[in-house]
Amino acid sequence: MPNVLITGCSSGIGRALADTFKSAGYDVWASARRDDDVAALTAAGFTAVQLDVNDSVALRQLAEQLGELDVLINNAGYGAMGPLLDGGTQAMQQQFETNVFAIVGVTQALFPALRQRQGLVVNIGSVSGVLVTPFAGAYCASKAAVHALSDALRMELAPFGVRVMEVQPGAIDTHFAKNAGTQAELLINPQSPWWPMRESIRARSQASQDKPTPAVVFAAEVLKAVQQQSPPRLLRSGNGSWALPLMAALLPKGVLEKVLMKRFGLNKTL
């Protein structure tokens, strides 16, 4: 029975992936940070792992438990919303620790297990790393970094028979928008120079739920790609996953920025 480790399985994409791979006959190791989420995953029949993806000690222990690994899905992450200068370097550091640094840390820790099976690493990026929008700069930057490190890892792991597939979801029906909205509210305050644009900031935090694709549909497409003899280097899935990168590629940069500035209320003087 092939095995898969999926990070960030408490809800949303992670839980949908865990359910889908389990139904396909995989031995699913599903990670989450909170005790109640781990308990729920255990009750659902997964090999549940309590894991902070930035905890190097916990990662080493997990690698020893696994021994061999067929598929690693680096899914854990969140979206920091709001003006870049409101969040500052602290928000950027927190965003990159979870969305970027953890991918390298988890993959590094589990590389020996992946090498044993000549496995596959699946990194969950986002179209937000291709089409950058205002009020989501930290998140967009983190996902652009995921795209870059996926390309580098693909080349560096190839001599060991370990493959790398990047996934760029579009709008997927998850709790992402709710969580992103909570993150945005933490920054929105009357002292911010962008306080007059608070409704536009809120609108950006909810943009991922524009006609979203069901998470189970997305998970099924990921499973199908993983099971191919030669998995694609890039999988785009979900509403907007092709249209938005195409817009970013075809529209002149200045035109695209004007469109986005108008969309999010930045075409006025404060």
User: Which stretches within 100-228 are classed as H helix?
Assistant: 102-117, 137-157, 176-187, 198-205, 215-226
Torsion region of 178: left, alpha or beta (phi above 0 gives left; psi -120 to 50 gives alpha) = alpha
pLDDT on residue 208: 64
pLDDT on residue 176: 61
pLDDT digits (tens, 9 = 90+) for 104-122: 999 999 999 999 999 999 9
pLDDT on residue 174: 79
- Do the domain assignments include residue 248? yes
pLDDT on residue 61: 95
- Do the domain assignments include residue 37? yes
What are the structure tokens assigned to 121, written together? 């690493």
In this structure, the strands spanning 71-74 and 3-6 are: parallel
pLDDT on residue 269: 86
Catalytic annotation, pick one of 26, 111, 135, 139: 139
Positions in the chain short of pLDDT 50? none
Residue 115: domain span: 3-263
CATH number of the domain at 48, please: 3.40.50.720
**Separation between Cα atoms, residue 218 and residue 230, nearest integer Å:** 19
Contact at 8 Å (CB) between 126 and 143? yes
pTM score, whole prediction: 0.93
- Do the domain assignments include residue 228? yes
* 78 labelled catalytic: no
| Closest-CA residue to 40 (of 167, 215, 31, 224) | 31
pLDDT on residue 207: 73
- Do the domain assignments include residue 231? yes
- Do the domain assignments include residue 270? no
- Do the domain assignments include residue 268? no
What are the structure tokens assigned to 9, written together? 């399985």
- Do the domain assignments include residue 73? yes
Q: How many domains does the chain divide into?
A: 1
H or E element at residue 14: helix 12-23
